[in-house]
Each structure stands twice: as C-alpha cells, then as structure tokens.
Structure 1
Amino acid sequence: MSGAAAETADRYDVVVVGGGINGAGIARDAAGRGLRVMLCEQGDLANYTSSASTKLVHGGLRYLEYYEFRLVRKALAEREVLLGIAPHIIWPLRFVMPHVRELRPAWMIRAGLFLYDHLGGRKKLAGSRGIDLRRHPAGEPLQEGLTKGFVYSDCWVQDARLVVLNCRDAADRGATVLPRTRCVGAERNGEGWLVGLEDTVTGSRRQVHARAVVNAAGPWVGRFLGEAMHDERKRDVHLVKGSHIVVPKLFEHDHAYLFQHTDGRVIFAIPYEGEFTLIGTTDVAYEGDPATASASAEEIDYLCQAVNRYFRRPVSADDVVWTYSGVRALYDEDDSENASALSRDYTLDLDTRAAPLLSVFGGKITTYRTLAREAVDRIAPLLGAEIRDWTGTAALPGGDIRDGDFEGYLQGLLAARPWLPESLGWRLARNYGRDAERILGAAQGVEGLGEHFGADLYEAELRHLAEREWAMTGDDAIWRRSKLGLQLNAAEQARVAEWFQTRQERGASAS
C-alpha cells in the first residue's frame, strides 16, 4: 500500500471490523463521542452469531455455579438499562424452573435465585418465588411427577434487531456502516492504518485510512489477526457452537421454561413468534468455517431428549420446523476442555506498539453495551476523545417511548389507525417501536401499505428495511430483521427475494 494511496483514501478515526453486536455497539459509542467511524461487515449485519442467540437479555443463572459472580452482576445490572433504551425490542419474560430433586437440591436453587434477585440491583423486574406446578398454568404441559418449581425474571430481546438499531444510531451520529464489505488486510503506515476493503457483492476494492482499528470479528477474531493483520501472537481462543431448534408451540401460556439436564447444563423452552417454541442451546467445540455452522442430528436429538424429560407431549426431529446455529470465540485462560465451563465474559486486547489495534474476545448480548463502553474508553485517550458513559440513557431508534410504556404506545398506535389489524400493529410496534409510524405513513387502510407478500408482510415494511436498515435480500428481511420466514411459504419467500433482486437491479442500472 503506497503513500499515494494513503493520501487519497477516505480517512477515519476508527475502523470497526465486524457487524455483530459487539462491533455495532462499539461503532455507536465511538460515533456518539465525536469520532469519525466506519464499520465494515463481510455479510449482512448480524449475519452470524448475533442473530443465532437464545434471544435473551439475562444474567446467566447457570454461571453462578462456575462462580462467575462478576459477570452475573454486570449482566443483571444491564438488563434494566437495555430495557430502558429499547423497550420495543426488549421486554420482561418470566421463567419457570421445575424442580428435580436428583439434579439440584431445592436449597441450592433458592440460594442461587436469592443471589440472582439481589446481585444486580433489580428495580423493574419481578423477583423470584416458589410455585406449585399442580396449580400454576405452567404445570399443565409438564410431566405429572413435577409438582414443585420456581419462577424468576429475565428479558427477551430481538437479537438481530438490536444489532441493526445500534448501527442505525451510529449512522445517525455520523458513522459509515458498510455491510457486505470484507476487510482484506490492514497495515500500519506511519501513525495510522491503511485498511483494504472488498465489496463482497461486486468484488471491487478500495483503501481507507484509520487512526485505530477495532477487531470485533466474533468467531473470526483470531483468524483475522493472523490473516489480515499478520499478527502471529498466540491467543487461547476456543470456538464453541450453540444450536437451537424451533417446533410448533408446546404450551399456551406466556412463561418460558428453564430445564435442568442430566449432564448439568440447562435448556430453555421459550414462546416464539406466536405459533412456535424455541428450544436451546447446545455447547459443543467447533472447528471449521463459522459461516457454515449448522445443527447436527446429534444436537437436535440432544435438545429433544432434554425437553422430553419434562413435557408430557414428546418432540422429535420430525417436529422441528427450523434450526439455527451460532459460533462464539471464547477466551480460555485456564485451558478448559469443557465448552460449557468456558467464561462468557469478554477480554479486550489493546496493542499500542504503533497505531492502536483493539481486539475483542468473547462477550454476550447482555453485556455488549458495557463491552463497547470499555472498548472505546481504552482507545479514546489515544484519539483525543472524551471518556463518557452515554449509551445507557440514549434510546435506540424507535425506542423513545414515553416512560417505556410499550402497551400504552401500542394502544395509541391502534387507536390512531382503527383500520390497522391488532396483530399487525403489535408486530410492527414490537419490531420497530415508534418507527412503526414511519412505516405506516399516511395509509388509510392496509391497501395503502402496498403489495401484500403473505402473512402480515406488506411492501411498506420492505421499503423501510431496504432504505433505513441496509436490507438487501429476502433473507435479510425475513430471517434477520424479522422472523417472518416462519410464516411465509416457499412461493411467498421467493416473491420477497424477487422484490429485493428487482430493487438491486434498478439501483445498478440507475448508477
């Protein structure tokens, strides 16, 4: 990379490599502190691990058994912070844990839940309590021998939307967000970096200059250091795959379950998209390309067996309507052979031998904001930016709902548009918050929303996704920014894909 190229390249304070939740959070925080930021992602935003989570903002009850008190405290405190800045895509969820005496004694569960209630300064969420499963609605779908249980609180999150909305906010604050743009190399050049970028759609390449680089490449963090940054230092990084299955709904109430499994792990069964139950997750060591990770037959069987110990109606691989898998890069300081025992906390590695390079290892959705703040705090003094904690009080796009009252907002939205079907109004509000008003626009009926693609998907929503949320393909729209793929048949999904393809072709011809 020549000096002439450096003079003509675009110039940024920070280039963030990776469009998952950590990269998106860092880009937002840095842009809000006045830094000139670029984020690049080789696929779609939240294309991989960050759209393959269990969809929970939670403290991690099981981490208490590994004495991860610091991580649990930090995560518990973040639940209500995130609930405050994104009340449209994050909401409280009650979990039922049936008690099985042979697996964990009741006193241990009570002690764990007591810590869980008090470690993080809980204010908004309901506390834990014991229940009689013979009388509680959550006991109805369970095996008859299960009579005692416990209820506690955590939160649900639309995971991929959380990524996109952090990118939206970053862009609104001046950041450049480039999905489908791979960083193919970076070299220190004087006081900064020359960063090579490749458009993965057109194959075109260019260079930009950055004062600092943040490696938030998720499961590619180690590979990126070696291949793109030519950094041969050894890191103890382990790739761990977690897989989930989706089946037709197994119960009618609105609580989720946490089941103890015989191997010491826990499995979640969660109400999902109205008509389904989400079951996960596994924890298995992984080798290979994280982009091609998928649920194995053994993992599917493992999850089915785990919940069949509890539900009266058994599930099998034949019941599974969808699976998804994500790979995490976990930092292992103790050389553990147990994937479940590896810490989900994060590690930040700052290299200041010349121009700064910050690499992010590990992390979880719940603590993404604190990770981002700490990451930007590490590089801010080197770039002349201030140390400031601002992201916990500024609402994400669509989340500026008065007093965080989602139900009140929804009722107002429906009252202002008597023609709007309640189910569509609820879904738009739950996915977009106040941006639902932008999508609905001046329509006086559903016919004003444009072409109907099936289920309750209309063209007005696709236009919003394409124009405001970087959606470029049908999968971007119906499997990441929403989960409408579960509701649409093959022909309807093909029509959504065709709509995006036509839009791309028109854009190409216009340019």
Structure 2
Amino acid sequence: MEQASGTIECDLLVVGGGINGAGIARDAAGRGLSVVLCEKDDLASHTSSASTKLIHGGLRYLEHYEFRLVRKALIEREVLLRSAPHIMRPLRFVMPHDQGQRPGWMIRAGLFLYDSLARRELLPASQGVDLRRHGAGKPLKKAYTRGFAYSDGWVDDARLVVLNAMDAAEKGALVLTRTQCEAAAPQDGFWHATLRKPDSRAMQVRARCMVNATGPWAAGFRQAATGQASSQTLRLIKGSHIVVRCLFDHPYAYIFQHPDGRIVFAIPYERDFTLIGTTDVDYEGDPDQVVIDQEETAYLCELTNHYFERPLTPADVVWSYSGVRPLVEDEAADASEVTRDYRLEFEDRGAPLLSVFGGKITTFRKLAEEAVDMLAPALGNRQGGWTGNACLPGGDVFGPQPSNRAVLEFERFVQDLQQKYAWIAPQLVERYARAYGTRVDKLLAGRSSMEDMEEEIAPGLFAVEVDYLMRHEWVLTAADILWRRSKLGLHLPRGAEEKLEAWMAASRAVASVPSGTS
C-alpha cells in the first residue's frame, strides 16, 4: 500500500463490506495484492447479516434443476465448516411429510440426489424418520407421523463477514468502515475514487482495479462509475425472519414446505429462541430501510401453526429482521424461484472493473476465488487461490490447517478452554469459544481473575471484550456488538444498549486524550 501526495495507491479497491466484498478482499490480500476495502456502514450491516444463517446446498433448488449451483454449494459446505468450526456447525434438519406434498418416494429420491452430488466427510446421509418415536416429533401436531432427516450447516453470518475482513487486514488490506465511496471514475488506466468518512473528511484512492460488491446497489453503482447500464438485471427480493421463545427443546431444525411451494425453516437459535424464516417477496423500496411487514409476520406464524402443536401469534415475536437479496433476474414468476447463483461481470474500459451480481452466503468463498482469478491477469499476479485450505481467524482449534477433527471435536476445544479459564463461568467461556475460537487467548491475554475483566457493562458483557471488539473488529456502536458481532441484544435487559453506548463513548473520549494531559 503506497500513499503519495495524500492519495492512497493500491492494486484493488473493493467497494462493499458484505460477505462477497470481504471474501474478495481476503483472497486478494492473501495473494500479495494491496487492497483497500470500504463499506458505507458497519461490516455485514445489510444482506449479509439478514440470512437464514445456513451453510447449505439448497435442497429446494433441485426442484428448479439447478444441479450445478447445488453441487457447488454442497462441496463448499464442508470446506467452510472446517475453516471456521467456532462460528459454524453441522445441523440436522427434519422435514415432516404433509399429505399435500409430493409422494414420499419422490422426496426420498431428491434427498438421495442431495446426498450424492458431492462427497461428504462430516455430514451424515439423509434418512426416513418415524415422528411418533423421533425426538423432533414431540412438538408437532399428531397428524405428522413420518418425515425425513438430512444434514446441512449453521453459520453466524455477520461474524463470518468480520472474520474475512480480519484475515484481509492481517494480510495487509486497509479496511475502512463507515466510509462511503462517493465517486469513482477511470482515468489514465486507474480508478480514481473519493471516499468520505463520517466526519466528512475525504480520502483519495488510486486503484489499478476496482470491485463493485455493493449488493443491492450493484447495478446503480456500476452505472454511476461507467456511465453505462449493465447487461445483468438485479431483482431485489426481501427476506424476513422472526425470532420467538423456544418452540422445542431438542437440537434439530425443521424445514416446512408451504402448499405454494415456498420453504420456511424453524431453527434452534441463541439457546433460548427459535428462528423462523424466510419470506420471499419482491422489493422496490430503499434497501437501507427494509423492515418486516405485518403480512410477512402473519405468514410465518400461519405456516408455523400448520405444523406445531403450540400456537404462535405475532405477539410472540421478540425480534425480527429483514434483508434485501440482490438476485440475478431470470424471469421467474415467483420470487422464491429466482436463481441464487451469481454472475461476475468483468470489463475494462480504461481501467478494470469487476461487478458482483447475486450469490448466496454458502458460495461466497468460491465466488471470491473466481473473482480474483479474473482480476489477477490484469494485475500481473500469478498466485493461485489459497482459501480452500486455510482457516479463518480463530478457526485453527487443532492446528493451523483446517481439519475434520476441528468440527467433530469442537466440544473438546470448549472443554479445554473452560479448564484453562476455570475462573470464568463455563457458559461465558463457551460463548467466547463460539465467537472467537482460538482468539479467546488474545481476548483474555494478561487476565487471571474476574477483577481483571474490568467493568461488567451488562450481564455477561465485560469491558475487556468490548475493548477487544473496538480495537480489532471495527466496532463503533453498541448495535455493532449487540446485533452483529453477537446477538447479546436478545438476552440483555432494557436499557443495556444505551448503557453500552455511553460506556463506549466515554472510552473513546479517554482514548482521544493525548498522553500526559490531565
């Protein structure tokens, strides 16, 4: 990274701090390229933190004959699980069979295909289940006596973005959050961009290549930068989720298919809750202002009530979130049928630009690898992809290389940490292990008693953790911590967010006082 006359010079400017932008920045930095990543809000503020939080092949995409996409995603499931076993884990799904669905033999054949499209080392095969005897049958209505079980994975989506950004930064990338790319134009073979910080300070960047990973804003950003419309058309689809108190007390998730063909999941969430989603509706509003509406909440409750014995009403919802998925338009009549595959558009009209359209969280690593492969020749870079056999920060729980053991024996890692930090409550150590992996040692460096943890700002949230997040994970607000770096906001009492915000403001004020002043 070079800085000449106030201008930052780099190989690659990545605009967009969601999973695709962070993944591309990480891959490029790991190949020795100088990278600047800018994001107008916090990392994972939009689509990338509003997913159903699954690492999956997409069982329902088989219905639309998207075998290539499903196979690619199925291969990636286990690659990702091995890379970050602290924020990902295998999850077993149960699909109750409803009389209105396809015949059982047809569903079983689809699951056999799902099992067979990619090699599995970590995830067990699908099977038929008797819901009268299986643990997942207890909370369901008695009419559901048979079903099917299969495996996919769960992921903390917002932390996945942050870990990619951390890895990029540790490999030399400059990560700028709350920094808007105000303008970008090609000139003399380079991209000249103006970035605007929250305090209105402008930064100038001169980049050899630029990546447009702005998600729902990708088409508009590309047109503003190049003056020409893209050949790709984005269809914005709103997906909403609701969170309620636990509807069941077992470790299985459910997949329900509505008679209209749409899929809804009910997933164990944050120990005390159940996550239900998603909706798929066309969206034409501002992606910055997306929220769930009453019809979506009613729809999710209605479908859940079709299966569970315990009735659910909108009044039971304790939290909800919505995101806009920028999907590649394929003329599908129903929003739920639009392809989740991605398109990479590379062009060079004076300076190379790569725009990312579409995609799903499961295939982000492959997307990033393909994107940097496309950019590398223009940058004279001959280093190949490397992320397929690399851990994300904190994922090296049993050595530097990804391993099946790290996934299968993660509980042992947790237990070892609980013994090492026996002076901390075991449940808190487990939370640290699942959020930070091996970086727990960095978080707790120099601490040997609860007094060393400093102030308990909110129940289970100590100053040492907040300080770590502010120093190493680009945290600037209480919401960054409570709703993206963690979901502590679900567990804390009223007023906790305001108290945390005040503590952080005071901490920043102290840090800004020059040394030696009183």
Normalising by the residue count of structure 1, what TM-score does the alignment of the two structures yield? 0.96
Q: Give distance in 2, aligned partners of 1:131 and 1:432.
A: 36
Aligned with 2:462 (options 444, 455, 458) = 458
Q: Which aligned pairs between 1:164-183 and structure 2 lie closer than 5 A?
A: 164-183=162-181
SS of the residue corresponding to residue 210 of structure 2 reads: strand
- Residues 40-82 of structure 1 show CA distances to partners (whole Å, capped at 9, x for unaligned) of 0000000111011101100000110011100000000001000
Aligned-pair CA distance for 1:431? 0.6
The amino acid across from 1:99 in the alignment is: H
Q: Aligned pair 1:238/2:206, yes or no?
A: no
The amino acid across from 1:500 in the alignment is: M
- Residues 19-41 of structure 1 show CA distances to partners (whole Å, capped at 9, x for unaligned) of 00000000000000010000000
Q: Give distance in 2, aligned partners of 1:358 and 1:6.
A: 25
SS of the residue corresponding to residue 45 of structure 1 reads: coil
Contact 2:421 2:429 in 1 (8 A): no
Aligned-pair CA distance for 1:437? 1.8
Look up the match of 1:275: 272
- Residues 178-213 of structure 1 show CA distances to partners (whole Å, capped at 9, x for unaligned) of 0100101111111111011011x2111121100000
- Residues 313-341 of structure 1 show CA distances to partners (whole Å, capped at 9, x for unaligned) of 01111000000001011111x32232111
Q: Give distance in 2, aligned partners of 1:6 and 1:230.
A: 28
Moved more, 488-497 or 464-473: 488-497
Aligned with 1:320 (options 312, 317, 321) = 317
Gaps of 5+ in 1: none
Q: Give distance in 2, aligned partners of 1:260 and 1:247.
A: 20
Q: Aligned pair 1:388/2:384, yes or no?
A: yes
Q: Give distance in 2, aligned partners of 1:13 and 1:143.
A: 58
Q: Give distance in 2, aligned partners of 1:484 and 1:469.
A: 16
Q: Aligned pair 1:418/2:422, yes or no?
A: yes
Q: Aligned pair 1:437/2:434, yes or no?
A: no
- Residues 402-436 of structure 1 show CA distances to partners (whole Å, capped at 9, x for unaligned) of 14131121111111122221111111100100111
- Residues 256-305 of structure 1 show CA distances to partners (whole Å, capped at 9, x for unaligned) of 00011121111000000010000000000001211110000000001001
Look up the match of 1:254: 251
Look up the match of 1:347: 343
Contact 1:103 1:264 in 2 (8 A): no
Look up the match of 2:199: 202
Moved more, 211-220 or 399-408: 399-408
Q: Give distance in 1, aligned partners of 2:5 and 2:346.
A: 26
Aligned-pair CA distance for 1:226? 2.5
The amino acid across from 2:453 in the alignment is: L
Q: Give distance in 2, aligned partners of 1:215 and 1:6.
A: 24
SS of the residue corresponding to residue 123 of structure 2 reads: coil
Aligned with 1:487 (options 482, 486, 491) = 491
Q: Give distance in 1, aligned partners of 2:292 and 2:210.
A: 33
Q: Give distance in 1, aligned partners of 2:480 and 2:126.
A: 38
Look up the match of 2:402: none
Look up the match of 1:264: 261
Look up the match of 1:468: 472
The amino acid across from 1:130 in the alignment is: G
Contact 1:20 1:48 in 2 (8 A): yes
Moved more, 497-506 or 409-418: 497-506
Look up the match of 2:50: 52
Contact 2:210 2:354 in 1 (8 A): yes
Contact 1:443 1:449 in 2 (8 A): yes
Q: Give distance in 2, aligned partners of 1:145 and 1:446.
A: 52
- Residues 207-228 of structure 1 show CA distances to partners (whole Å, capped at 9, x for unaligned) of 1100000000011101212234
- Residues 154-180 of structure 1 show CA distances to partners (whole Å, capped at 9, x for unaligned) of 111010000000000000000000010
Q: Aligned pair 1:222/2:219, yes or no?
A: yes
Q: Aligned pair 1:131/2:129, yes or no?
A: yes
Gaps of 5+ in 2: 399-404
Aligned-pair CA distance for 1:451? 1.2
Look up the match of 1:362: 358
Q: Give distance in 1, aligned partners of 2:226 and 2:276.
A: 38
Aligned with 2:395 (options 389, 392, 399) = 399
Quote the sequence identity (%): 54
Moved more, 232-241 or 179-188: 232-241
Q: Aligned pair 1:409/2:413, yes or no?
A: yes
Q: Give distance in 2, aligned partners of 1:112 and 1:418.
A: 47
The amino acid across from 1:499 in the alignment is: W
The amino acid across from 1:491 in the alignment is: G
How many residue pairs are counted as aligned between the two chains? 505
Q: Aligned pair 1:292/2:292, yes or no?
A: no
Aligned-pair CA distance for 1:502? 2.0
Look up the match of 1:377: 373
Q: Give distance in 1, aligned partners of 2:38 and 2:92.
A: 37
Contact 2:373 2:385 in 1 (8 A): no
Look up the match of 1:89: 87
Q: Give distance in 1, aligned partners of 2:349 and 2:4.
A: 20
Contact 2:458 2:500 in 1 (8 A): no
SS of the residue corresponding to residue 131 of structure 1 reads: strand
Moved more, 389-398 or 479-488: 389-398
Look up the match of 1:151: 149
SS of the residue corresponding to residue 183 of structure 1 reads: strand
Aligned-pair CA distance for 1:507? 4.4
Q: Give distance in 1, aligned partners of 2:368 and 2:313.
A: 40
Q: Aligned pair 1:331/2:349, yes or no?
A: no
Contact 2:57 2:362 in 1 (8 A): yes
Q: Give distance in 1, aligned partners of 2:438 and 2:9.
A: 34
Moved more, 351-360 or 367-376: 351-360
SS of the residue corresponding to residue 327 of structure 2 reads: strand
The amino acid across from 1:501 in the alignment is: A
Q: Give distance in 2, aligned partners of 1:231 and 1:451.
A: 54
SS of the residue corresponding to residue 495 of structure 2 reads: helix
Q: CA RMSD in A?
A: 1.5
Contact 2:453 2:463 in 1 (8 A): yes
The amino acid across from 1:373 in the alignment is: E
Q: Give distance in 1, aligned partners of 2:503 and 2:226.
A: 39
The amino acid across from 2:250 in the alignment is: H
Normalising by the residue count of structure 2, what TM-score does the alignment of the two structures yield? 0.95
Q: Give distance in 2, aligned partners of 1:487 and 1:447.
A: 23
Q: Give distance in 1, aligned partners of 2:71 and 2:39.
A: 31
Q: Give distance in 2, aligned partners of 1:32 and 1:425.
A: 31
Q: Aligned pair 1:307/2:301, yes or no?
A: no
Aligned with 2:74 (options 66, 76, 82) = 76
Contact 2:219 2:233 in 1 (8 A): no
The amino acid across from 1:380 in the alignment is: A
The amino acid across from 2:139 in the alignment is: P
Aligned-pair CA distance for 1:7? 5.9
